Structure 1
Amino acid sequence: MPRIVTGSDLPRIFTIRESNHRIHNPFTAGKLAALGQALHLTPGMRLLDLASGSGEMLSTWARDHGVTGTGVDISTVFTEKARVRAAELGVADQVAFVHADASGYVADKPVDLAACLGATWIGNGVAGTVELLSRSLRPGGLTLIGEPYWREEVPNQDTAQACDARDKDDFLALPELIEQFGGLGYDVVEMVLADQESWDRYQAAQWLNLRRWLDDNPDDELATEVRAALTTEPARYTRYQREYLGWGVFALMAR
């Protein structure tokens, strides 16, 4: 769930950190499945997932609900993992994964559901990402946005930055985020929120990935950066992010 993407691929440090992740957000497989069930997905629905990562949402929903769709992601590593995952689940004929910059991507035909989970920088924020997704969506379709929010009032700028925010105004409290969607002309019709357990599974699993990579690649040019991350991130996460930062997926329908 990086905040900034530059160039034509994700930074290596991110793909190392999440090398064994199937879901690149603080969602467990159970929460992802619960979201699919809550949306009452039906066979034949067409989906677009921008910044689709390793393709777990599209692939498991294709298996469980018979949907079809396209995922778009800037990471060559994760796009290939998504294609492998689709084949593993027997849904390669239902979903396709495109290596491309998702910002500005519009489906060639209107879809029933357009999603961007945890990557609203592709539209320069929530408002721009909702507008981008609307270009691919049929009238009456569903928009999915995954976005951080503050669980508690942030006491100072240092705490905000420790939560990967630029400042305290970078994220909203949950009620204010819901109101923002309304101000954009959308009804919030469902939501599934991460909890501390799903945050732990997302963040703590990164530390083992970092350590194993470091043991295997001590002379790599990124070794110093990976060592610094492994040294500092567990304490930073438990002191700040685990307490203050929430995350959820919100289903929207235009009014």
Structure 2
Amino acid sequence: MDRQLLSAIAHRDHPIAGPISDDTLDRLVRRAALPDRARILDLGCGEAAWSLRALELVPSAVADGVDVSPHAIAAAQRAADARGLSDRLSLHLTPAADFPATQPYDLVLCVGSTHAFGGLKGTMDAVSRFVRPGGLALVGEGFWERTPDRALAEAIGTYPGLAGTIAAAESDGWLTVYGHVSDLAEWDDYELSWTGTLARWAAANPGPDGEHALAVMREHRDMWLTGYRGVLGFVSLLLQRV
């Protein structure tokens, strides 16, 4: 089974695809206070939970969602159809770094997808090319709540603390105007949904694919429970281009 399909299965019951509750997502999008006819770009959109909620809040807005996973794009299209928003959401199956924007956007989203641009600094540089002067970015990124041990840092990657993460986001013409640090309950809900949904699928699909999915689930769950739970944090920053 390919990694993108496994991810799509694991996120079926948690389409936000990150340690963020529905209420938090709603609050962050509302805080953007988007204008009428807003243009929204969702980089690494997954199932497009963020941009779909923004379209519901601003009935005259339009959005572009970009992702490399055909499974995520298909799920986003189904969600848009079900919510009557498919006429205002355009989906693009392409790497986020290759998306050829032709007009600036009022809000650019990149939540949990900064790896597409080589990290947070590269993401902010890319978003600067897409957003209009005075426009907004909503960026979600990991940070270390506590200093990890060496093995965990090598397994997950290099992150600063929260102060360093905000400083990196603001390093080149951006100002943080709001944000949210995911709490342990949001993390646990996300991880239990991710692992539980994948386990349930594996049980319903015995054979090589089910066994592989179960092995991936157990490896992920072990890394969470014995590694980064309470150590790795996640912050969603609403930033304004100044």
In the alignment, the residues of structure 2 paired with residue 213 and residue 189 of structure 1 have an alpha-carbon distance, to the nearest angstrom, of: 41
Q: Indicate whether 1:68 and 2:62 are aligned.
A: yes
In the alignment, the residues of structure 1 paired with residue 98 and residue 219 of structure 2 have an alpha-carbon distance, to the nearest angstrom, of: 35
Shift in CA distance, 64/253, structure 1 to aligned 2, threshold 3 Å: closer
Q: Indicate whether 1:36 and 2:23 are aligned.
A: no
Give the alignment of 1:79-90 within 5 angstroms: 79-90=73-84
In the alignment, the residues of structure 1 paired with residue 11 and residue 235 of structure 2 have an alpha-carbon distance, to the nearest angstrom, of: 19
Residue in 2 that maps onto 1:144: 138
Instruction: Calculate the TM-score normalised by the size of structure 2.
Output: 0.91
SS, match of residue 172 in structure 1: coil
**Residue 39 of structure 1: how far off its partner (Å):** 1.4
Residue in 1 that maps onto 2:210: 223
SS, match of residue 236 in structure 2: strand
Residue in 1 that maps onto 2:99: 105
1:48/1:107 contact within 8 Å kept: no
**Residue 55 of structure 1: how far off its partner (Å):** 0.9
1:63/1:90 contact within 8 Å kept: no
**Residue 229 of structure 1: how far off its partner (Å):** 2.9
Q: Indicate whether 1:190 and 2:178 are aligned.
A: yes
SS, match of residue 134 in structure 2: strand
In the alignment, the residues of structure 2 paired with residue 31 and residue 212 of structure 1 have an alpha-carbon distance, to the nearest angstrom, of: 27
In the alignment, the residues of structure 2 paired with residue 58 and residue 24 of structure 1 have an alpha-carbon distance, to the nearest angstrom, of: 13
In the alignment, the residues of structure 1 paired with residue 130 and residue 100 of structure 2 have an alpha-carbon distance, to the nearest angstrom, of: 5
1:191/1:251 contact within 8 Å kept: yes
Q: Indicate whether 1:77 and 2:71 are aligned.
A: yes
Q: Indicate whether 1:251 and 2:242 are aligned.
A: no
In the alignment, the residues of structure 2 paired with residue 211 and residue 123 of structure 1 have an alpha-carbon distance, to the nearest angstrom, of: 31
SS, match of residue 33 in structure 2: coil
Q: Indicate whether 1:56 and 2:43 are aligned.
A: no
Q: Indicate whether 1:241 and 2:228 are aligned.
A: yes
**Residue 14 of structure 1: how far off its partner (Å):** 1.9
More RCO (CA 8 Å, sep 6+): 2
In the alignment, the residues of structure 2 paired with residue 77 and residue 173 of structure 1 have an alpha-carbon distance, to the nearest angstrom, of: 33
Find 1:172's aligned residue among 152, 160, 177: 160
Residue in 2 that maps onto 1:181: 169
Give the aligned residue type for 1:252: L
**Residue 25 of structure 1: how far off its partner (Å):** 1.2
**Residue 112 of structure 1: how far off its partner (Å):** 0.7
Give the aligned residue type for 1:105: F
**Residue 10 of structure 1: how far off its partner (Å):** 5.2
Equivalences, count: 240
Residue in 2 that maps onto 1:209: 197
Unaligned runs of 5+ in 1: 1-8
Two-structure CA RMSD over aligned residues (Å): 1.8
In the alignment, the residues of structure 2 paired with residue 94 and residue 13 of structure 1 have an alpha-carbon distance, to the nearest angstrom, of: 28
Q: Indicate whether 1:27 and 2:15 are aligned.
A: no
- Percentage identity across paired residues of the two chains: 26
2:34/2:106 contact within 8 Å kept: no
Shift in CA distance, 238/115, structure 1 to aligned 2, threshold 3 Å: same
